[in-house]
Structure 1
Amino acid sequence: MAYNVLMIADPGIDDSFAIMFALLNPKINLVGIVSGYGNTPKEQSIKNTAYLLYLANRQDIPIIAGAAGPLSGEPILYYPEIHGKEGLGPLKPPDTLKNVNVYDINKIIEIVKQYRGDLVIVSVGRLTELALMFILYGNNTLKDVTAFFIMGGAFLVPGNITAEAEANFFVDPIAANTVMEKAHNIYLHPLNITNKAIITPEIINYLSENSPTPFKPLLKPAFDYYYMAYQKNVPGIKGAPLHDVVPLMALTNPDLVKYIPRRVRVEEFGNSKGKSIADFRPKPDKERPESIDYIGMEADIQKFIVNFMEIFMQGECHI
């Protein structure tokens, strides 16, 4: 059985690996990609998504234009030292990609109606677009979505932007808190598991020589750039964590991640902006059942590595 998946991404190197993973995975039917600001400005994000779909020969998958900035209206910080100026490390999508058909955000509503009761939203970027759906269309607008698989937050570990905050929550904490409070059936994949989802240069070298996928030329240049950035930020690291692949793999491999049920909130302002909060006491305060989220606390990293290699050794993108 394949899962119908609407992705929200901001490619970005690890987002790009996540999109490639989704396109190659026979258990995923990718029904749309929302591309907004995040690792790059919105326009570049859309170009990168179009390039990946072009390589996969899947221009039938709708690209939806996401947000250009956070709900707070604060200036956006980009991280070219991690993702490169164009978002794909040293690579640049060709200028020949013209006349790409891009839908506006209303297309999300169409897709939710089309796959009513059989759609998973996988968000690996900022949470602005998801929050906007609740703001524009009301609290029940996404009630027919089966589940939300989100990469974001950090619990009982340091953040990666500030001492306490992870990037997707930090850049738009108002949106992150809105989504955590209003969406239902959320499976959250925070830094405490995604930091460990490390792929090594040896694996990428093997795939860049042997993978039969149309993405083969991208794998090594993009990964090497990303790995170099991680070596500066985390001295001694043996590879680079592909954070955004984790929620997709958790969806298609239900025993990959162990979750704990807790209500999650996000600090919206002040010195702890973007901090993800949950009650980890043995007897947490009682919360309404509908406010409970599922926080990923452990992941089978060996299984992650094996499945990653299996998917990237697939022959071609499925339809």
Structure 2
Amino acid sequence: MKGRKNEDVRGSAMAYNVLLFADPGIDDSFAIMYALLNPHINLVGIVSGYGNTKKEQSVKNSAYLVELGGREDIPIIAGAAGPLSGEPVQYYPEIHGPEGLGPIRPPDSFQNIKVHDYNKILEIVNQYKGNLIIVNVGRLTELALMFILYGDNALKDITEFYIMGGAFLVPGNITAEAEANFYSDSIAARIVMEKAHNVHLYPLNITNRAIITPEMVEILAENSPTSFRPLLKPTFDYYFKAYQKNVPGIKGAPIHDVVPLMAITNPEIFKYIPRRVKVEEFGNAKGKSIADFRPKPDPEPLETLDYIGMEADIPKFVENFMEIFLKGDYEKK
């Protein structure tokens, strides 16, 4: 059951309370912008950790985006600096830029931002008890640490978890079989998929198809009334050039991390298969997501099943994406 809507802090519109775990990163940044602009999402906090950039840069990027959006009231929580395995972190400046926003560099004034620690997560969970959705679009280290530090019941009052991760019956994007969020901290991914409840998972099956084209971004760069307009084209162009090198012939770039946020407010766009998801932790298959897709899978307890997104109406995805960036700023004020 989807979380109850609350009155939006900005007015009479009804909105879902969302705590976002991210590692901006260009597509993470589009996800943050989308959440800030969507009138049906009440973003109550951002947990910002390593992934596409170092943790410190990730925190700075999140703070920059909420300031641009006029939402300095949203708490920024410092996440993890690396995976549970202790392995060195591999960053991807060729995809996201040296500071995570392509050619954009947040001003130095953000070096002294107020940053909260992990206890703020528990405070937010208790504040919105039974009426909060967690969306995770980065590595799963921070979510796993919540279970490790505070016990299996620490997040029992979360309504649902919406997670971008995994790849089923399609190639991975880090290895032949593994998607980046699951691969980069496979131990954390296994813990989260084992202990979290009411999980909606958005793997590469869907997110690889959530493509926005340069022509669409050109329209936004010329017509979006939002405060984010100056960022849209330069960040997207950088991201798109990286995809052109990695996927020859691609017509646009997949905005992976907007997908789970859109699924909250536009559930009719997506179709799911209920299966229990497991994650390989080590070896050549590290980070591989596994589910039983046989016509008659082995029976599993209903409470252990995850909802794997397997189909999406991409034209409707594009329509909603464009709509939010073309008028979302006005609707939220």
Same fold judged by TM-score > 0.5? yes
Instruction: Establish whether residue 289 from structure 1 lines up as the match of residue 310 from structure 2.
Output: no
Q: Which residue is 2:205 aligned to?
A: 192
Pick aligned residue for 1:3 from 9, 16, 40: 16
Instruction: Establish whether residue 23 from structure 1 lines up as the match of residue 36 from structure 2.
Output: yes
Q: Give 1:101 deviation, angstroms.
A: 1.0
Give the 3-state SS of the residue equivalent to 2:112 in structure 1: coil
Q: Could you tell me whether the CA contact under 8 Å between 2:276 and 2:305 is conserved in 1?
A: yes
Q: Give 1:289 deviation, angstroms.
A: 1.6
Letter in 1 for 2:308: I
User: For residues 157-196 of structure 1, what are the structure 2 equivalents within 5 Å?
Assistant: 157-196=170-209
CA RMSD of aligned residues (A): 0.8
Q: Which residue is 2:283 aligned to?
A: 270
Give the 3-state SS of the residue equivalent to 2:310 in structure 1: strand
Q: Give 1:126 deviation, angstroms.
A: 0.2
Instruction: Establish whether residue 141 from structure 1 lines up as the match of residue 154 from structure 2.
Output: yes
The separation in 2 between residues aligned to 1:10 and 1:256, in whole angstroms, is 25
User: For residues 1-319 of structure 1, what are the structure 2 equivalents within 5 Å?
Assistant: 1-314=14-327, 316=329, 318=332
The separation in 2 between residues aligned to 1:87 and 1:17, in whole angstroms, is 12
Alpha-carbon displacement from aligned partner over 1:18-53 (angstroms, at most 9, x marks no partner): 000000000000000000000000000000001001
Q: Could you tell me whether the CA contact under 8 Å between 2:38 and 2:328 is conserved in 1?
A: no
Q: Could you tell me whether the CA contact under 8 Å between 2:28 and 2:137 is conserved in 1?
A: yes
Give the 3-state SS of the residue equivalent to 1:187 in structure 2: strand
The separation in 2 between residues aligned to 1:116 and 1:254, in whole angstroms, is 23
The separation in 2 between residues aligned to 1:96 and 1:314, in whole angstroms, is 29
Gaps of 5+ in 1: none
The separation in 2 between residues aligned to 1:295 and 1:158, in whole angstroms, is 16
Give the 3-state SS of the residue equivalent to 2:324 in structure 1: helix
Q: Give 1:98 deviation, angstroms.
A: 4.4
The separation in 1 between residues aligned to 2:300 and 2:260, in whole angstroms, is 25
The size of the alignment, in residue pairs, is 319
Alpha-carbon displacement from aligned partner over 1:258-316 (angstroms, at most 9, x marks no partner): 00000000000000000000000000011122211000000000000000000001252
The separation in 1 between residues aligned to 2:111 and 2:303, in whole angstroms, is 45
Q: Give 1:179 deviation, angstroms.
A: 0.2
Name segments (4+ residues, structure 1) moved above 3 Å.
Answer: none
Letter in 1 for 2:178: A
Alpha-carbon displacement from aligned partner over 1:185-227 (angstroms, at most 9, x marks no partner): 0000000000000000000001001000000000000000000
TM-score by length of 1: 0.99
The separation in 2 between residues aligned to 1:97 and 1:291, in whole angstroms, is 42
Alpha-carbon displacement from aligned partner over 1:116-140 (angstroms, at most 9, x marks no partner): 1100000000000000000001101
The separation in 2 between residues aligned to 1:2 and 1:96, in whole angstroms, is 31
TM-score by length of 2: 0.95
Q: Which residue is 2:6 aligned to?
A: none
Q: Could you tell me whether the CA contact under 8 Å between 2:203 and 2:309 is conserved in 1?
A: yes
Q: Give 1:96 deviation, angstroms.
A: 2.1
